[in-house]
Amino acid sequence: QQQVKQSPQSLIVQKGGISIINCAYENTAFDYFPWYQQFPGKGPALLIAIRPDVSEKKEGRFTISFNKSAKQFSLHIMDSQPGDSATYFCAASRVQGAQKLVFGQGTRLTINP
C-alpha cells in the first residue's frame, strides 16, 4: 500500500523559476514530514522538514507548505538554479517510536540554464 504519493515524476524548470513538488499521505498518525534531495550516486540528504503544527516552513530558497486537512504537503524551490537539479523525495513518519520513514516515489527535477 502506497502511503505517500508524490507528483510529478519529473519536472523541468527554467533557471530562476519556481519548482513545485507535491505529496499526499494517507496515514493520519504521521506527524513528521521531511524532504530529501538525492544526487546521482549519493544517498538522500535531508533538505527541510515540517511538523503539522505549522502550515509553512521556509529555509532559504526552500519552503514546505503543509495542509493538514487535505493531508497534503509541497516543496517550493524559489529562484531555481542548475545546481538544484536532483531527485527529490518527500517522506513521512511518526515522531515517536521507530520513526521509520515512508517515502514518495521521487521527482526528478531538471533546471535548465
Partner 1 sequence: GAGVSQSPRYKVTKRGQDVALRCDPISGHVSLYWYRQALGQGPEFLTYFNYEAQQDKSGLPNDRFSAERPEGSISTLTIQRTEQRDSAMYRCASSEGYSNQPQHFGDGTRLSIL
Task: Write the secondary structure of 76-96 as one string of H (helix), E (strand) and C (coil).
Answer: EECCCCHHHCEEEEEEEECCC
Candidates 84, 81, 102, 83; CA nearest to 93 is: 102
- Measured CA to CA, the distance from residue 42 to residue 100 in angstroms comes to 20
| From 27, 32, 61, 71, residue interacting with partner 1 (rule: CB under 8 A) | 32
If binding is defined by CB under 8 A, does position 21 make contact with partner 1?
A: no
Report the residue from 19, 24, 25, 44 that binds partner 1 according to the rule CB under 8 A.
44
Q: Which of residues 78-107 bind partner 1 (CB under 8 A)?
A: 89, 91, 95-96, 98-106
Chain contacts with partner 1 (rule: CB under 8 A): 4, 6, 32, 34, 36, 41-46, 49, 51, 89, 91, 95-96, 98-106
